[in-house]
A and B are shown apart, each in its own frame.
Chain A
Amino acid sequence: LSLPLSVSLALSVSLSAVADPSAEDGKKEKKEVDPFVYDYHSLRICGLVFGVVLFALGILLILSKSSYFSRKCRCSSNQEKKPKAPGDEEATAETLIVSKAKEPEPEPEPEAKAEN
């Protein structure tokens, strides 16, 4: 499911890797010829490619509903959010103790279900 994202990530990394050195290379080559002239044309192209890739990445991120991110979000809203509550430090300590005295605790649940 996270395939499109990872692919696009890899793509972007490689692209930017291509983009930057090429700019640097161009700069060096020209520098030997004339340090006061700069290849703005290829710079523009690289910059635009960089922008397009970023833009596409962003759009992909928004559209990837079933991606790694949103799934994590959905779970978190149910379970992970709570431990983030204030008094967290104490709470974690308590859960440890509670889990020790866990035997009586599952009882209310089945009862509730029975009534449902």
Chain B
Amino acid sequence: MGDKDGKSSPSKKNKKGKDMDELKKEVPITEHKMSIEECCRKFNTDIVQGLTNAKAAEFLIRDGPNCLTPPPTTPEWIKFCRQLFGGFSILLWTGAILCFLAYAIQAATEDEPAGDNLYLGIVLSVVVVVTGCFSYFQEAKSSKIMESFKNMVPQQALVIREGEKMTINAEEVVAGDLVEVKGGDRIPADLRVVSAHGCKVDNSSLTGESEPQSRSPDCTHDNPLETRNVAFFSTNCVEGTARGIVVCTGDRTVMGRIATLTSGLESGKTPIAKEIEHFIHLITGVAVFLGITFFILAVCLGYTWLEAVIFLIGIIVANVPEGLLATVTVCLTLTAKRMAKKNCLVKNLEAVETLGSTSTICSDKTGTLTQNRMTVAHMWFDNQIHEADTTEDQSGASFDKTSASWAALARVAALCNRAVFKAGQDQLPILKRDTAGDASESALLKCIELSCGSVKQIREKNKKVAEIPFNSTNKYQLSVHETEDPNDNRYLLVMKGAPERILDRCTTIIIQGKEQPMDEEMKESFQNAYMELGGLGERVLGFCHLLMPEDQYPKGFAFDCDDVNFTTESLCFVGLMSMIDPPRAAVPDAVGKCRSAGIKVIMVTGDHPITAKAIAKGVGIISEGNETVEDIASRLNIPVSQVNPRDAKACVIHGTDLKELSQDQMDDILRNHTEIVFARTSPQQKLIIVEGCQRLGAIVAVTGDGVNDSPALKKADIGVAMGISGSDVSKQAADMILLDDNFASIVTGVEEGRLIFDNLKKSIAYTLTSNIPEITPFLLFIIVNIPLPLGTITILCIDLGTDMVPAISLAYEAAESDIMKRQPRNPTRDKLVNERLISIAYGQIGMIQALGGFFSYFVILAENGFLPSILVGIRLNWDDRACNDLEDSYGQQWTYEQRKIVEFTCHTAFFVSIVVVQWADVIVCKTRRNSVFQQGMKNKILIFGLFEETALAAFLSYTPGMDVALRMFPLKPSWWFCAVPYSVLIFVYDEIRKLLIRRNPGGKWLSLSLCITFRPESCHEICICNFTHKSLIDTKTRKLSNASLFSSPTLSSYRLGGKGDILLSDGYRLYSYPYIFHLFLPPFIPSLARHVFRCPTP
């Protein structure tokens, strides 16, 4: 990290950059290494009395209040201006200014300047302002929802000052204060713990550890984040009490530093903004090229300089697609709305598309991929590992509950457990109920409640007589109960704790409900089970019990828990239970879909590597069959150093190792491993990982919920925060919020993003096409001196009127191919608007459209007596007000007014012709590769658009008064049909073009859309194959991996809870993590049947 900072800081110039680098470094707290006395001395405080009030007041003034500086908010008017002058608007503003300039020139030189340029300038400005307001209000709406997330409740803190306990506002806490926290409190500042009683804190939002961490006064680690004697600002105390000296307050706390780092980061432009910029460059290039060419031509043809300049400006402005800004905004808004309906709230309109371009997702584990609650995952009894149902909705399979051993285990787990459900939640499902007590005890409580009924009743039947709570020296918890049977006067001793400690105290073991002596074989199988469960990243607890002999412990025996007067040896081992924070149900499916969409999913977590790896395997981030370097080493029994790192597709990297990596090594890892897990990462490291991915050209999405994720969320191209469990800081930093915390919504986001990108392409192609029939009349007017075929007003009617609805309707177009089966777009190669699109729109379709327009123009003039031959060069006389006897081809004389009516009728006809050819264009633009006959006409909005467009054209032409208002005249019915052949021509031409594209694969389109085909021999093979995510690799090479070789009977028995090893051809065990099956097979298989096989649903 050091060299990273060293390299980046010189480029950043000022002090701010330096501060940021400073913040990126690790936490500077050192107090945890000091003794309590040193600590007191440092802060001028007393370990008993606390600070004096005077000192506290002094410190408060010196350090400021203990709260986070809110991130600098941009004033509303700046936000508004950003909408007004950002991106696409610039193009329109330039156009407007040029228009005004042209009008000014005309006004200065001519007596009666034509108002066209003035009107055009005004209309352009109005369009920009209206669209700007529209998108401003759109974003204001989502920021309002953001406001509602803010937690306004002021925090209280219990401090000791001058020896008195007092409750003050958490903001008034100062460094050196002696603070007391108890279970349920939020920690008011960074504390150096001086005394603690069973205190546990939940650091998950800071470090990503799901399990509560115990706190004690001793320094256990050099790293302040790891040591036990520091409690952090805004984390929660789960249970117990603790007293500590405040070492940092406000922005200087660990949380504060992260928040400051986050608000100091600047996120780059969104991909769509870059695309629009590229588009503007292209359009400007075309406009300037055309403008200059015709400027030179005009000068050569003998126009004056000023006239030529006005032409130049006119041509440049005519190239500006007036309606496109509104179209793009509306399309993005529609998608944002659609996503909001699916619980994705997008804060910034442009971020709508970003997920679609995403090529890497860095996901936090705790709370994002997992449920952030400990759950019993496995049990070991009867010398067998059983798995519990860990799904949120209890849809997974269950295990055999008939064994007497299970009854014994459940009884021990229920009795030797201090967790209780909080009152008044009887109607809630068990898993949703709140509990009071330790996380793992709560997990046990819920597990027993689910499988054996009311724990309360069990406890009532077995009255507790004595109890020794858990402590870290004993590593066990013990209680003595009366038995259920009133005639049985024996006492029941139950104990749980660290498995090895429990085993040491046991001489017998229960198998199938019968006590058997604990032999070596049993011990070994215990060890195996313990190792296996531990290897899954699960926290394992051992359970044992003893029915105390009545002769030694008669009824009424006084159990003394402080000075233990009863046996705690030679007990009977009952079983093991292991707990984990299980993955959310929808995650594996979502990860699989991301994979098949070509998106790399990286896990970046603060949690321990073993847990991280287990979850990564569980959700498919490390797919089955892929091994890490360590796995290969242990399989081949060789040292890690001998393994070629290139053999391992997966890798798990520890935060401490990450610190020592150079930038090149980092790039190397990110480039060469497809499946990466970063464990024990600090928030700063998360940021560095995101930067690393971006350096390699990836568009990075980060998902997370904790404060520790927020710098990465901000830095990412798109940060996705969790709406329910997410912290405020993370929501502030994110661009998108999943309101239902469902990771699977990301898949929706990707899908919608890709769809809108494709559809925007179509919209733009459609809108740009009509630019050609709009410019060419003006060009011919200049070059060959014909009466103007199409006026400014009619151009605006097309761009802002008839073209709008069809262009927007293309946003509703369904995807042409399965967009989730192709690779993410390459931001350097796949542009929103490329030269190809421009050449099709301008050069091919646009030209045919212009021909259609001119055809109807010449038809009308000819019907009125002006044959095309006479038109060339007629302009000067035609536009001469004084000339009232202009003769047509038949010798009729035309006054100026009469001529103008014919001219405006021509404008109207040209306009209607463009509408007619745009019918074909919108149908043609619907698809980019498929034929319309393949795609169908299912887009209702598009059909609506066709109707409305035509109706609008009819209204504009026929409404009385239009001749005065917009100078548009009624058309004879036959004139409507002039352009129809050209419309047909466009359709046929483009269908042939697409046919050729389809016939000659190898174009960009084909390489983009991966052909996913499977061998059809057996569905099962493929289910598993895909399920393990190997399918991606396999389908590309079209080979099924060895994963396909196990047979379905084994699989089904396994899934139903039976015990059978699934063996692969080369002898590996496929699943050492069996619960994974339960988690995501059910949702996966139906989707497979749809996605891959396309077989008829049964």
CB-CB under 8 A for A81 and B815, given A51-B954, A57-B947, A104-B1019: yes
CB-CB under 8 A for A91 and B951, given A38-B972, A114-B1056: no
Enumerate chain A residues within 8 angstroms of B936, measured Cβ to Cβ. 76
Check: A101 CB closer than 8 A to any chain B CB. yes
Which of A40, A73, A76, A104 is B1020 in contact with, Cβ under 8 Å?
A: A104
Enumerate chain A residues within 8 angstroms of B1023, measured Cβ to Cβ. 108
The answer to whether A87 and B1093 touch across the interface, beta carbons within 8 angstroms, is no
CA distance A40 to B1010 in the complex (A): 58
Enumerate chain A residues within 8 angstroms of B1090, measured Cβ to Cβ. 78-79, 82
The answer to whether B1086 and A115 touch across the interface, beta carbons within 8 angstroms, is no
The answer to whether A48 and B1013 touch across the interface, beta carbons within 8 angstroms, is no
* Per-position binary interface string of chain A over residues 48-89, scored 1 when its CB falls under 8 Å from any chain B CB and 0 otherwise: 101110110111011000000110110011110111111100
Residue from A23, A62, A87, A115 having most chain B Cβ neighbours under 10 A? A115
* Per-position binary interface string of chain B over residues 379-421, scored 1 when its CB falls under 8 Å from any chain A CB and 0 otherwise: 0000000000000000111000000000000000000000000
* Per-position binary interface string of chain B over residues 1011-1046, scored 1 when its CB falls under 8 Å from any chain A CB and 0 otherwise: 111101111100100000000000000000000000
Which single residue of chain A is at the shortest CB-CB distance from B816?
A84
Check: A107 CB closer than 8 A to any chain B CB. yes
The answer to whether B970 and A43 touch across the interface, beta carbons within 8 angstroms, is yes
Which of A52, A77, A101, A115 is B395 in contact with, Cβ under 8 Å?
A: A115
Check: B468 CB closer than 8 A to any chain A CB. no
Check: B215 CB closer than 8 A to any chain A CB. no
The answer to whether B1016 and A85 touch across the interface, beta carbons within 8 angstroms, is no
The answer to whether B930 and A102 touch across the interface, beta carbons within 8 angstroms, is no
CA distance A70 to B814 in the complex (A): 13
Which single residue of chain B is at the shortest CB-CB distance from A72?
B938
The answer to whether B973 and A24 touch across the interface, beta carbons within 8 angstroms, is yes
Enumerate chain A residues within 8 angstroms of B935, measured Cβ to Cβ. 84
Enumerate chain B residues within 8 angstroms of A20, measured Cβ to Cβ. 973
Which of B821, B947, B1055 is A85 in contact with, Cβ under 8 Å?
A: B821
Of residues 87 through 116 on chain A, the ones whose CB sits less than 8 Å from some CB of chain B are 87, 90-91, 94-95, 97-99, 101-102, 104-109, 111-112, 114-116
Check: B941 CB closer than 8 A to any chain A CB. yes
Which of A38, A70, A101 is B1017 in contact with, Cβ under 8 Å?
A: A101
Residue from A27, A52, A70, A104 having most chain B Cβ neighbours under 10 A? A104
* Per-position binary interface string of chain B over residues 1073-1098, scored 1 when its CB falls under 8 Å from any chain A CB and 0 otherwise: 00000100110011011110111111
The answer to whether B948 and A87 touch across the interface, beta carbons within 8 angstroms, is no
Tally chain B residues at the interface, Cβ within 8 Å.
67
Check: B285 CB closer than 8 A to any chain A CB. no
CA distance A109 to B941 in the complex (A): 37
CB-CB under 8 A for A48 and B944, given A77-B814, A112-B1085: no
Check: A31 CB closer than 8 A to any chain B CB. no
Check: B943 CB closer than 8 A to any chain A CB. yes
Enumerate chain B residues within 8 angstroms of A104, measured Cβ to Cβ. 1018-1020, 1048
Check: B470 CB closer than 8 A to any chain A CB. no
Interface segment among B718-726, B735-743, B779-787, B955-963: the answer is B955-963
Of residues 752 through 767 on chain B, the ones whose CB sits less than 8 Å from some CB of chain A are none
A46 CB, min distance to chain B CBs, angstroms = 8
Check: B569 CB closer than 8 A to any chain A CB. no
The answer to whether B1086 and A73 touch across the interface, beta carbons within 8 angstroms, is no
Enumerate chain A residues within 8 angstroms of B973, measured Cβ to Cβ. 20, 23-24, 43, 46
The answer to whether A73 and B940 touch across the interface, beta carbons within 8 angstroms, is yes
The answer to whether A47 and B957 touch across the interface, beta carbons within 8 angstroms, is yes
CA distance A23 to B1052 in the complex (A): 75
Enumerate chain B residues within 8 angstroms of A79, measured Cβ to Cβ. 1090, 1097
CA distance A54 to B935 in the complex (A): 24
| Chain A interface size, under 10 / 10 to 19 / 20 to 34 / 35 or more | 35 or more
Check: B1006 CB closer than 8 A to any chain A CB. yes
Check: B818 CB closer than 8 A to any chain A CB. yes
The answer to whether A86 and B1011 touch across the interface, beta carbons within 8 angstroms, is yes
Enumerate chain A residues within 8 angstroms of B1097, measured Cβ to Cβ. 79
Residue from A45, A48, A78, A101 having most chain B Cβ neighbours under 10 A? A48
Which single residue of chain B is at the shortest CB-CB distance from A64?
B940
The answer to whether B1098 and A106 touch across the interface, beta carbons within 8 angstroms, is yes
Of residues 21 through 46 on chain A, the ones whose CB sits less than 8 Å from some CB of chain B are 23-24, 27, 38, 40, 43-46
Enumerate chain B residues within 8 angstroms of A106, measured Cβ to Cβ. 1098
Enumerate chain B residues within 8 angstroms of A86, measured Cβ to Cβ. 817-818, 821-822, 1006, 1009-1011
Enumerate chain A residues within 8 angstroms of B1012, measured Cβ to Cβ. 85, 87
* Per-position binary interface string of chain B over residues 943-983, scored 1 when its CB falls under 8 Å from any chain A CB and 0 otherwise: 11001101111110111100000000011110000000000
The answer to whether A48 and B958 touch across the interface, beta carbons within 8 angstroms, is yes
The answer to whether B947 and A58 touch across the interface, beta carbons within 8 angstroms, is yes
Check: B73 CB closer than 8 A to any chain A CB. no
CA distance A83 to B1091 in the complex (A): 9
Enumerate chain B residues within 8 angstroms of A109, measured Cβ to Cβ. 1085-1086, 1089, 1098
The answer to whether A82 and B818 touch across the interface, beta carbons within 8 angstroms, is yes
A19 CB, min distance to chain B CBs, angstroms = 8
Enumerate chain A residues within 8 angstroms of B14, measured Cβ to Cβ. none
The answer to whether A101 and B1089 touch across the interface, beta carbons within 8 angstroms, is no
The answer to whether B397 and A54 touch across the interface, beta carbons within 8 angstroms, is no
The answer to whether A112 and B1082 touch across the interface, beta carbons within 8 angstroms, is yes
Enumerate chain B residues within 8 angstroms of A44, measured Cβ to Cβ. 958-960, 970
CB-CB under 8 A for A116 and B1082, given A54-B954, A97-B1016, A107-B1052: yes
Check: B472 CB closer than 8 A to any chain A CB. no
Which single residue of chain A is at the shortest CB-CB distance from B1088?
A108
Check: B934 CB closer than 8 A to any chain A CB. yes
CB-CB under 8 A for A101 and B814, given A43-B958, A115-B1055: no
B322 CB, min distance to chain A CBs, angstroms = 23
B92 CB, min distance to chain A CBs, angstroms = 28
Which single residue of chain A is at the shortest CB-CB distance from B1084?
A112
The answer to whether B1017 and A115 touch across the interface, beta carbons within 8 angstroms, is no
The answer to whether A95 and B1093 touch across the interface, beta carbons within 8 angstroms, is yes
A47 CB, min distance to chain B CBs, angstroms = 3
Which of B950, B1013, B1081, B1086 is A87 in contact with, Cβ under 8 Å?
A: B1013
A2 CB, min distance to chain B CBs, angstroms = 13
CA distance A105 to B479 in the complex (A): 53
A23 CB, min distance to chain B CBs, angstroms = 5
Enumerate chain B residues within 8 angstroms of A55, measured Cβ to Cβ. 947-948, 951
Which of B397, B947, B971, B1094 is A83 in contact with, Cβ under 8 Å?
A: B1094
B360 CB, min distance to chain A CBs, angstroms = 24
The answer to whether B395 and A116 touch across the interface, beta carbons within 8 angstroms, is yes
A100 CB, min distance to chain B CBs, angstroms = 9
Which of A70, A94, A105 is B940 in contact with, Cβ under 8 Å?
A: A70
CA distance A13 to B1014 in the complex (A): 49
Which of A46, A61, A95 is B943 in contact with, Cβ under 8 Å?
A: A61
Enumerate chain B residues within 8 angstroms of A97, measured Cβ to Cβ. 1016
The answer to whether B1081 and A112 touch across the interface, beta carbons within 8 angstroms, is yes
The answer to whether A58 and B944 touch across the interface, beta carbons within 8 angstroms, is yes
B631 CB, min distance to chain A CBs, angstroms = 29
A41 CB, min distance to chain B CBs, angstroms = 9
Which of A27, A73, A95 is B1095 in contact with, Cβ under 8 Å?
A: A95
Interface residues, chain B, CB within 8 Å of chain A? 395-397, 814-818, 821-822, 930, 934-936, 938, 940-941, 943-944, 947-948, 950-955, 957-960, 970-973, 1006, 1009-1014, 1016-1020, 1023, 1048, 1052, 1055-1056, 1078, 1081-1082, 1085-1086, 1088-1091, 1093-1098
User: Could you list 20 A-B pairs, sorted by A, with CB under 8 Å?
Assistant: A20-B973, A44-B959, A44-B960, A48-B955, A50-B954, A51-B950, A51-B951, A51-B954, A52-B951, A54-B947, A54-B951, A69-B940, A77-B814, A82-B1091, A84-B930, A84-B935, A87-B1009, A94-B1094, A98-B1093, A108-B1019
Closest 7 CB pairs of A and B: A47-B958, A51-B954, A58-B947, A87-B1011, A54-B951, A86-B1009, A85-B818
- Extra contacts, 16 of them, besides A84-B817, A94-B1014, A105-B1095 (Cβ < 8 A), are A40-B970, A44-B959, A44-B970, A45-B958, A50-B954, A54-B951, A61-B940, A61-B947, A69-B940, A82-B1090, A87-B1013, A98-B1016, A107-B1052, A108-B1023, A114-B1056, A115-B395
